[in-house]
Homo-oligomer: A and B are copies of this chain.
Amino acid sequence: MNEFERIEKFFKPLTRGHRGALGLRDDAALLDVPEGCEMVVSADMSVEGVHFRKEDELENIACKALRVNLSDMAAKGAKPLGYFLSLCWPGRLRESDMKAFAGGLAHDGDAFDISLLGGDLTAGEQLTIAVTILGIIAKDSMPLRSNAEAGDDIYVSGTIGDGALGLLLLEGRQSALSTQERRYLHQRYFLPTPRLELGRALVGNIGASIDVSDGLLGDLEHICKASGVGARIFEARIPLSRAAGTMLAEDDSLLERILTGGDDYEILFCAAPAQRAAIDKIGSELRTPLARIGEIAKNSDIALIRPDGNETIPATKSFRHF
């Protein structure tokens, strides 16, 4: 099959009938933005050997490549509309692999109500997936990274470190975890859940917001730099899953991995203390744990308060590509 036949067979169904996709048969897609809304756009690339391992399931690789983009929409409180997929597909992969890859996207397209709108399919050596995602939000309501203010509470959703520890286990790390706990951490690494509902509910109640992809401390640093502030984080308040807690109890040096490993795709956000009741209510209604882990400070340091009250300034904050 040539690329046009592949697009017709595997990718056209992913448009889910969205008119603006023009059946993936035109040079461009058309998108309408409702009055009073702005378009929110983000792009993330996933590369073989960097963001996933060659031996990973193609269905999971596809889903994760889409979900990391959905997670950006979640952090910005946007409603995702559609995505563009540029795919560099190695010749060694088969048609059945492409079917599995597209199958993952089909599943998530339905799960998150999002359509493929266009893109590009090309041959190459290294499987590379570039997604650009488009969403909408009411004008002037997007929570920017630069909106943090001294005195704000710092919250994070869900639990932190699961994805990074899941990858560590996949890489052969030993641990006394049960099969179920092990599977849970693997799953958190392979298939993060973008916090779309939470992100939209938080709009209007919060200041700065970001999704945790590079690492909790690194992403907090992004907020602090953009806002010209610092932060204090209480180690004892970092929300951990039971599995992550077990591994940390086995080896307390894993704390750094938990705080800087990334791949969490939770939402890290700041809000004035006056918003505590409203935020607790949102967490309860959505049954999403929200942990108040620290506070924004006037200086520019990111300090970690140990359980004994001592303060440290962690040097490593996130995964670095270069």
Contacts and interface: CB of A to CB of B under 8 A. Distances in A.
Interface of A: 1-3, 6, 22-23, 25-33, 35, 38-45, 47-51, 72-73, 75-76, 78, 84-89, 91, 117-126, 128, 130, 132, 134-135, 139, 142, 144-146, 210-211, 222, 225-226, 320-322
28 contacts: A3-B321, A22-B145, A22-B146, A25-B146, A25-B226, A26-B145, A27-B210, A27-B211, A28-B73, A28-B76, A29-B41, A30-B41, A31-B41, A39-B39, A42-B118, A43-B85, A43-B120, A45-B86, A45-B88, A45-B130, A47-B123, A47-B128, A50-B123, A50-B124, A86-B132, A122-B321, A124-B126, A132-B132
Contacts of A134: 41
A19 to B, nearest CB: 11
A169 to B, nearest CB: 23
Please tell me how many copies of the chain the complex holds. Answer: 2
Contacts of A76: 26-28
A120 B78 contact: no
A97 to B, nearest CB: 13
B225 A44 contact: no
A71 B2 CA distance: 23
4 tightest A-B CB contacts, nearest first: A130-B130, A132-B132, A45-B86, A28-B42
B321 A44 contact: no
Given A28-B135, A47-B124, A126-B128, 15 more contacts: A25-B225, A32-B39, A33-B39, A39-B39, A41-B84, A41-B118, A44-B86, A45-B128, A47-B88, A50-B123, A86-B130, A89-B322, A121-B321, A124-B126, A128-B128
Nearest to A218: B4
Most buried by B among A28, A43, A47, A222: A28
Contact of A322 (B1, B130, B145): B1
Contacts of A49: 124-125
A321 B121 CA distance: 8
